[in-house]
Every structure is written in C-alpha cells, then in structure tokens.
Structure 1
C-alpha cells in the first residue's frame, strides 16, 4: 500500500527574507513566517493527514506547532530532517561570499556537490540521511497521509536523490521551494521503487509568496 508524503518548507525567517544561508542556526520565524505557519494550519485542516513530522530545528517546529493544534496531532520530531550545515556560508548571502571567497563560490556554483562550502555537510551525505528518514516515515505510516515540515536545501537534495535527478543539478532543477509551499509524493510500499511526484511547490495560501505579512482569519499582521 502506498503512502502520501506532503513535504513543506518551514515559514520565512529574517535570514531567508534576506536570502542568507540558514542551516544549523536558530533563526526564528519573522512576521511573514508566522502568518505562513497559521495559514498552513488552516490549509491542512481542509486536507486529510494522519501524522505530522518535523525537523528538530526551531523554525520548523514553530511552523508545525499551529498545524499540530489545528489537526489535533502530536508532532513527531525526526533528527535527520534537520537542514544542511552550510559551513562558512552560514548567515551570509552568496553576494557577500563572492566578495570574500570568489573562488569558493565559483566552484560551488559549478558543482555544489563536488565543491560544497568549506566546513559544510557534504550534500550527498545530507541527501542520503534525508531519503532514509523519509523512507522510514513512509514505512511507519504505511497507507497513510503524512505532513512533513523541513527545509529548502535538504528537501531539494532528497527529491533529486529519490527521483533520480543528478544531485549536482539540484540548484538548477529545483531552484527554490517556497516557504510553507507543499510538495506531494506517493511512496510505493516496495522499497526499490521511486516515489511518484504528484505536486511541486504548491502555495498553501497567499502568505506563501508574499513579501509582507498577509492578514488571515482572526489575525492581523
């Protein structure tokens, strides 16, 4: 029996609004991110989810919290869904890194898997742990529908690895997952078969692509 996984990137933070690399750092949701989390909860209430799983990183947990309250579910925390550690890029933009480490950036852009930022987690290892975690979630909730809250780079790496897209192309093939947007996979019970991609980067509310907080039911930004 197949399992449906709905993969959602956490809500926006100040760093993400400025396009800064945020991997292991604890950066809280900004006002837009909080609106996105509440809107995601309202959207999830209209769907059918049997379980809710989250990365342990606080911004992901903060995104999952209103969903858990709306659905009456406990949030399962899975350590291997944490974001990639970006090493020297942590907290910085690519433009800033081009000023201080131009050769590093040139190599990274040419092949981010072969040339990760110094001190960063190897992308192939991150992809492996993410796919392993998602497979395990699907097995534990066989036949169900699961909402998974995680991170932009980790989910893109996992999608490429699991769907058979060359990992070195992840930035080109999947340039960005929007905050609080939904990507759906149908995972077959047979472990040797890849999942089916049912939907990619679908906004769950107008707050997903907004530059400013969007008022939603019962709340103003």
Structure 2
C-alpha cells in the first residue's frame, strides 16, 4: 500500500440533527447551519492537501461534499453505497431517547448492528484506497460510521463525531493510524 491519508468529514447539520432524531439511511437535507459547517471544514482540510473528494450517496453527504470540493477547488468524485449511515429501521425519525427506551443500546427494531456498520466502513476504506492508490482523499459521510470505523483503528471507542468535523487516518507506518478527530489530535480518553 502506498502512503495516503483519508480525511473523514461528517456531513453538516440537518433539521433532524438539530432535533436529536435518528436519521440513519433516511435522506434528510442539510440546513443552513450544515452548509456553514461544510464551508468551515475546508480550512481544517487545508486546501492543496487533497487529491479527491468522495461521499455517501445520501443528499446531506453529497451536498456537504460538493461545498467542500468547491472550497478546495476539486471536482466532486463518486459516491460509495458502503458509506451510507447506519440503518435505524423502525427508529428512523424518532428522538434518540424514544428509540433507546424501546431498544436499549439501539439493539432491536431492525436497527443495523454496529458490527455490520464497522464492516461496511472497513470495506469502504479498502475500496477507496484501491480506487485512489497513494492519493489523499476526503471522505464525506456520517457520524456513526465514522465514529465506530475509526474506533477500530484507534483501539478505543471515540466520542461523538460532530457535524462538519474532520477526522484523518494515515498509513505512513504501513497500517492505518488515527491522526485527527473532531478537528483535533486525538487523546486516548474513551467516551
């Protein structure tokens, strides 16, 4: 594997994020705050450091990716179905506390298991790395898939991934290492 970096950006805020609703694979658009967060992510990504922008196919991720691509002066690349957010099934649209009351730890109600989310995330990383060998790629997707997939590389459970925030993994040591999370160098405090 040639050296590369993947910069994961959680899509900007939606109305459902603001209301604390589980949106998962529901296709909810960005709100104005979300668009501003996408513009702010450009400075964290540092123009000139990225070769390509890819995303989840959901509109909130695609719009975030387009705003970032425009800000970085890059063409928007393809979407990857593997990057779609966790499917919350019967819980989609519910306020999180309501879903947790019905399905503790979000197990049940047809909700996609976290192992499945991480497995998809790891396959997406492999596919993107193969498609963009040796390139630095910004990957715009969703909070749960970013949090739990990158926790796999960190070796501990990451805290919440904020809307519009950047997390970076690099493979300079020959394996993927977490370099940035929520726009900051990570600490090893589990959350």
Give the number of equivalent residue pairs.
182
RMSD of aligned C-alpha atoms?
2.1
Equivalent of 2:140 in 145, 149, 167? 149
Alignment of 1:133-144 (within 5 A): 133-144=124-135
Alignment of 1:3-22 (within 5 A): 3-22=4-23
- In structure 1, runs of 5+ residues without a counterpart are 166-172, 204-221
Match of residue 28 from structure 1: 29
- Do the aligned partners of residues 41 and 164 (structure 1) sit closer, same or farther apart at CA in structure 2, a change above 3 Å counting? closer
Assess if the C-alpha contact under 8 Å between 2:9 and 2:165 holds in 1. yes
Please report the TM-score for the alignment, with normalisation by the length of structure 1: 0.75
Distance 1:151 1:98 in 2: 20
Alignment of 1:160-179 (within 5 A): 160-165=151-156, 173-179=157-163
Match of residue 180 from structure 2: 199
Alignment of 1:59-208 (within 5 A): 59-70=60-71, 71-97=73-99, 101=102, 104-105=103-104, 108=105, 116-165=107-156, 173-187=157-171, 193=175, 195-202=176-183
- In structure 2, runs of 5+ residues without a counterpart are 185-191
Alpha-carbon shift at residue 142 of structure 1 (Å): 2.4
- Do the aligned partners of residues 82 and 124 (structure 1) sit closer, same or farther apart at CA in structure 2, a change above 3 Å counting? same
Distance 1:135 1:163 in 2: 17
Match of residue 57 from structure 1: 58
- SS of the equivalent of 2:170 reads strand
User: How far does the alpha carbon of each residue in 1:12-31 deviate from its partner, in whole angstroms, 9 at most, with x for none?
Assistant: 00111121111011111111
> Greater CA radius of gyration, 1 or 2?
1
- Do the aligned partners of residues 155 and 198 (structure 1) sit closer, same or farther apart at CA in structure 2, a change above 3 Å counting? same
Distance 1:132 1:187 in 2: 16
- Do the aligned partners of residues 187 and 45 (structure 1) sit closer, same or farther apart at CA in structure 2, a change above 3 Å counting? closer
Moved over 6 A (4+): none
- SS of the equivalent of 2:181 reads strand
